[in-house]
Chains A and B, each alone.
Chain A
Amino acid sequence: MKDEVQTPEDRAAGLKGMGCSRKRVEDVRFTQGKGNYVDDIKLDGMLFGDFVRSPYAHARVKSINSEEAMKVPGVVAVITAADLEPLGLHWMPTLAGDKQMVLADGKVLFQGQEVAFVVAEDRYAAADAVELVEVEYEELPVIVDPFEALKSDVVLREDTVDENGKATDGAHGPRNHPNHIFTWEAGEEAETNAVIDSAEVVAEETMYYHRTHPCPLETCGSVASMDKVTGKLTLWGTFQAPHAIRTVVSLISGIAEHNIRVISPDIGGGFGNKVGAYSGYVCSVVASIVTGRPVKWIEDRMENLMTTAFARDYWMKGKISATKEGKITGLHCHVTADHGGFDACADPTKFPAGFMNICTGSYDIPTAYLAVDGVYTNKAPGGVSYRCSFRVTEAVYFIERMIEVLAIKLNMDAAELRRINFIKKEQFPYQSALGWEYDSGDYHTAWDKAMKAVDYDGLRAEQAQRVEDFKAGKTRSLMGIGLSFFTEIVGAGPVKNCDILGLGMFDSCEIRIHPTGSAIARLGTISQGQGHATTFSQIIASEIGIPADDITLEEGDTDTAPYGLGTYGSRSTPVAGAATAMAARKIRAKAQMIAAYLLEVHDDDVEFDVDRFVVKGAPERFKTMKEIAFAAYNQAIPGIEPGLEAVSYYDPPNMTYPFGAYVCVMDIDVDTGVPDIRRFYALDDCGTRINPMIIEGQVHGGLTEALAVALGQEIAYDEMGNVKTGTLMDFFLPTAWEVPNYETDYTVTPSPHHPIGAKGVGESPHVGGVPCFSNAVQDAFRAFGLTHTNMPHDHWRIWKTANDLGLHD
């Protein structure tokens, strides 16, 4: 076949492969309201489940009386821990190696804890009955402060102490107090202390990274359908890791794994909230088994904010040492981590504080030590990574604040301090003091580009003038310049050190080429808005020369998709994206043999050219992928079995380390505390860029979630353990009105170990954005003596900072 019309460039463009801003294939459904989210699933005879929840943060449950509730027309069952106990399902394992009550087993440990599960014909009847379940509580002393918890005689978890009241060993080793969960360390303590003790300059700071919540717009939910005839359980739900859920359901329920089909339908945002296993999932399954009918459970917003998967809640104490010239010599970090009533953090098993040990950041810090103590309190369990890899947001916030604090101590410009401490390009792969091997980076180039783009020197001059004007009474507005340079660690991860509940964190892709040259691909991940169906098809298009538009991409059905660990921690592109490229390359290798046979030359005499194999030196002789696909199925080729498909399970050799340079310029009204974000510049380096449009969209979204966290979003408790921010009235989600337009930019430093050099981007803007917004607020007050103030910087707290500094006098 001759193809004289199209140049290779034309042919490549027609594929809509990597590097182009392909429009999303998902959007045709979503813009017409044709998405299929879990609450859209409606099965014949389906019942609805709803929880009776504890109003107390710590109490004994003395009795539960469901007599009146059962009289409500339409109520089918009220399930309590006593009903679950014979099945061994009244407790369930958490992702962190702890266990958690599915329904209150004699006591409750946080406000909103699940006490009973009402099953009814519809959600109104269920809600009516929830009101009528009588629960008798005996209140117990409440602890919401982790430091107090470690001193208190009040034992929160009696199941974790021996008969003498002494703490038994936990999943992560010895515990030094009944309310202590673990101590986790990285680095060299003695050496770090020695360096800091003898240093020319030492800066210290304690900072609280407040508790917040991922709050996806769709809450969590599930639909369970147990088919008693076939013995098969189908479970739809808001699962960021459907395969892991299948395995976990099998292990805790005893149902054989082949009899469980888990389906993640469209997911309305995840951000970490939908990684964990929740009581609602378990109860919907049990209720379906008990009633023989499908059972749906959908939480409301208040339940979502109060009970499922909070994020952060880290008290971080740091010391950083340097020479007088500003060269950093050592870093010491201690974290007291509030994990709530059960340790349900979502972290790889060997990392109970996630990748907090990336806290040396983007800097060449020769000596460092980190210790994290996990603590039980009467708050909701969780500790997920809200739009970040495991605890990386905390780590990056810590180091990016410590740099600012050190700059103040040194009386140095914070941009310059960063520059002289960056890991240099030629140092990669870089071995960090806390145990990571950074794959690639070019920090100086990114930083210089950012500084130039914003005219950094000009901004500082303007700021200095503003301070003078303020002091002269000419203005009541201050100007803050927020800087951050972050290094993420994503793509968990190598099976040798990354697993969750023993499940290795590889991922997968299976590609089938149809005889006419179109294809279907399935992955072990699940999109929650990232546009996987669009971008992963682009990888395949570039790798094997089939137009992206001719590829169907599916995820989320464990009966059809290959096993994988799901989507969180920006792992889809680094891991499943790599699997996609590797599976495509297997297909390409077979296609090469078929092409050589068809062209009657040796395998080595053909080469791949965009969408075909050509005979080397004779480009007019070629076979297109379409022709090869047809031949693969329909032509008897000696020594080659029919068909054209491949599967790859990819175990990454290392994490990937995306990085970026952000600058925020903010004007702050000193008298109202209202910040006005005048400019936000974000340079991201996520390695090879698959779809620039989607990357930019991810950056906008991640920055907005960063703005929220830095400037007001928190899960706050009173001293009785009452959640004070349980609705969207109190829990800050920014609107279009509060959010600025962002300027995006990039450099490209491919990952050397990833098949296509991609690093992942979804979470970078959140990780880098939080310290950038926070630094902008704090920088505005640097000239007036502020060293550090805790987030969230809502209007009142900013006003208070100004007031404490005497700026209202």
Chain B
Amino acid sequence: MSKMHVKLKVNGREVEGLAEPRTLLIHFLRENLKITGPHIGCETSHCGACTVDLNGKSVKSCTVFVAQAQEAEITTVEGLANDDGTLGVIQEMFREHHGLQCGFCTPGMITRAHRLLQENPSPTEEEVRFGMAGNLCRCTGYQNIVKSIMAASDQLNAQKEAAE
């Protein structure tokens, strides 16, 4: 199959490459760009391990063709750490509150949580549970994931207040 020229911005960096139009975004990220944070857990949009931020929305990159992501701005979990390499707030809170175990769902969870907290900076527990329901975790039972996101919300809001 002939290949197309793909151009997108990932974690703030312009990237390009050649790919068959049918190539899934998750495969382009993982195999062409070696961005292996997003994982493949089901390839049917159920598990959310492949969640990335695409033009300001959470998408499951296992069911998006790279052709659909042409010129898009994408953020993956790799783009959520601080510039100096330390953990970003959500990442730090997942560590602080034991919001992960095997780590396989974690990149998708954190990327989704990042978008959720942009959409709703002060969610209730119920809103967090609803907003995260597209991301499956087999290890934690979600209790500490919810706790991590609630704590991240508090921290981010405090930071914002301090800045204002």
> Which of A23, A28, A37, A268 has the most chain B CB atoms inside 10 A of its CB?
A268
Query: What residues of B have a CB within 8 angstroms of the CB of A216 in the complex?
Result: 102, 104, 138
B141 to chain A, nearest CB (A): 3
Q: Does B96 contact A (CB under 8 A)?
A: yes
Whole-angstrom CA separation of A326 from B130 in the bound complex: 46
Q: Given the interface contacts A32-B91, A33-B77, does A739 sit within 8 Å of B141 by beta carbon? A: yes
Whole-angstrom CA separation of A702 from B101 in the bound complex: 12
Which one of B38, B78, B143, B144 lies within 8 Å of A32 (CB-CB)? B78
Say whether B44 contacts A266, CB under 8 Å.
no
Query: What residues of A have a CB within 8 angstroms of the CB of B47 in the complex?
Result: 217, 301, 728, 733
Interface size on A, residues (CB 8 A): 57
Say whether A26 contacts B138, CB under 8 Å.
no
Q: Mark A27-43, 1 if CB is under 8 A from B, else 0.
A: 11111111101011010
> Which of A29, A30, A528 has the most chain B CB atoms inside 10 A of its CB?
A30
Say whether B37 contacts A32, CB under 8 Å.
yes
Whole-angstrom CA separation of A528 from B102 in the bound complex: 5
A213 to chain B, nearest CB (A): 11
Closest 3 CB pairs of A and B: A33-B37, A268-B104, A529-B102
Q: Does A468 contact B (CB under 8 A)?
A: no
Say whether A217 contacts B136, CB under 8 Å.
yes
Say whether A529 contacts B103, CB under 8 Å.
yes
Which one of A23, A28, A219, A701 lies within 8 Å of B139 (CB-CB)? A701
List 9 additional A-B contacts (Cβ < 8 Å) besides A23-B96, A31-B87, A218-B104. A37-B39, A268-B39, A268-B41, A269-B138, A693-B98, A703-B141, A727-B46, A735-B142, A741-B143
Interface size class of B (residues with CB under 8 A): 35 or more
> Which of B43, B110, B132, B137 has the most chain A CB atoms inside 10 A of its CB?
B137
Say whether A737 contacts B101, CB under 8 Å.
no
Whole-angstrom CA separation of A32 from B91 in the bound complex: 7
Which one of B20, B35, B136, B143 lies within 8 Å of A124 (CB-CB)? B20
Query: What residues of B have a CB within 8 angstroms of the CB of A693 in the complex?
Result: 98
Query: What residues of A have a CB within 8 angstroms of the CB of B34 in the complex?
Result: 42
Query: What residues of B have a CB within 8 angstroms of the CB of A30 in the complex?
Result: 100, 103, 106
Which one of B41, B44, B110, B142 lies within 8 Å of A217 (CB-CB)? B41
Q: Does A654 contact B (CB under 8 A)?
A: no
Whole-angstrom CA separation of A34 from B38 in the bound complex: 10
Whole-angstrom CA separation of A324 from B141 in the bound complex: 42
11 CB < 8 A contacts A-B: A32-B77, A33-B35, A35-B103, A216-B138, A217-B41, A217-B136, A217-B138, A219-B41, A269-B101, A301-B43, A737-B129
Say whether B143 contacts A739, CB under 8 Å.
yes
Q: Does A779 contact B (CB under 8 A)?
A: no
Say whether B44 contacts A728, CB under 8 Å.
yes
Query: What residues of A have a CB within 8 angstroms of the CB of B1 in the complex?
Result: 124
Which one of B110, B135, B143 lies within 8 Å of A700 (CB-CB)? B143
Q: Does A736 contact B (CB under 8 A)?
A: yes
Q: Which residues of B contact A (CB under 8 A)?
A: 1, 20, 22-23, 27, 30-31, 34-44, 46-47, 49, 76-78, 80-81, 87, 91-92, 94-96, 98, 100-107, 110, 128-130, 132-146
A366 to chain B, nearest CB (A): 38
Instruction: Report A84-127 residues with CB < 8 Å from chain B CB.
Output: 122-124
> Which of B38, B106, B128, B138 has the most chain A CB atoms inside 10 A of its CB?
B138
Whole-angstrom CA separation of A158 from B80 in the bound complex: 57
A679 to chain B, nearest CB (A): 14
Whole-angstrom CA separation of A722 from B6 in the bound complex: 40
> Which of B27, B38, B136 has the most chain A CB atoms inside 10 A of its CB?
B136
Whole-angstrom CA separation of A219 from B139 in the bound complex: 14
Q: Given the interface contacts A217-B41, A218-B104, A529-B101, does A700 sit within 8 Å of B27 by beta carbon? A: no
Whole-angstrom CA separation of A531 from B98 in the bound complex: 10
Which one of A27, A271, A698, A727 lies within 8 Å of B95 (CB-CB)? A27
Query: What residues of B have a CB within 8 angstroms of the CB of A729 in the complex?
Result: 44, 46
A306 to chain B, nearest CB (A): 13
Whole-angstrom CA separation of A215 from B105 in the bound complex: 13
B111 to chain A, nearest CB (A): 9
Say whether A33 contacts B101, CB under 8 Å.
no
Q: Which residues of A contact B (CB under 8 A)?
A: 23-24, 26-35, 37, 39-40, 42, 122-124, 215-219, 266-269, 271, 298, 300-301, 528-531, 693-694, 696-698, 700-705, 727-729, 733, 735-737, 739, 741-742
Say whether A31 contacts B110, CB under 8 Å.
yes
Q: Which residue of A lies closest to B104 (CB)?
A: A268
Query: What residues of A have a CB within 8 angstroms of the CB of B92 in the complex?
Result: 31
Query: What residues of A have a CB within 8 angstroms of the CB of B146 in the complex?
Result: 736
Q: Which residue of A lies closest to B78 (CB)?
A: A33
A763 to chain B, nearest CB (A): 13
Say whether B98 contacts A268, CB under 8 Å.
no
Which one of B43, B101, B103, B128 lies within 8 Å of A701 (CB-CB)? B101
Q: Given the interface contacts A124-B22, A301-B41, A735-B136, does A42 sit within 8 Å of B142 by beta carbon? A: no
Say whether A217 contacts B95, CB under 8 Å.
no
Whole-angstrom CA separation of A40 from B23 in the bound complex: 18
Q: Which residue of A lies closest to B137 (CB)?
A: A217
Which one of A28, A122, A735 lies within 8 Å of B87 (CB-CB)? A28
Query: What residues of B have a CB within 8 angstroms of the CB of A697 in the complex?
Result: 98, 101, 139-140, 144
Say whether B77 contacts A300, CB under 8 Å.
no
Which one of B23, B35, B80, B138 lies within 8 Å of A733 (CB-CB)? B138
Which one of A24, A42, A529, A705 lies within 8 Å of B31 (CB-CB)? A42
Q: Given the interface contacts A33-B76, A33-B107, does A218 sit within 8 Å of B136 by beta carbon? A: no
Query: What residues of A have a CB within 8 angstroms of the CB of B102 in the complex?
Result: 216-218, 266-269, 528-529
Whole-angstrom CA separation of A218 from B108 in the bound complex: 13
Say whether A736 contacts B46, CB under 8 Å.
no
Whole-angstrom CA separation of A666 from B24 in the bound complex: 43
Query: What residues of B have a CB within 8 angstroms of the CB of A271 in the complex?
Result: 138
Whole-angstrom CA separation of A42 from B87 in the bound complex: 26
Query: What residues of A have a CB within 8 angstroms of the CB of B134 in the complex?
Result: 735
Query: What residues of A have a CB within 8 angstroms of the CB of B76 in the complex?
Result: 33
Say whether B104 contacts A269, CB under 8 Å.
yes
Whole-angstrom CA separation of A742 from B146 in the bound complex: 13
B70 to chain A, nearest CB (A): 19
Query: What residues of B have a CB within 8 angstroms of the CB of A739 in the complex?
Result: 141-143
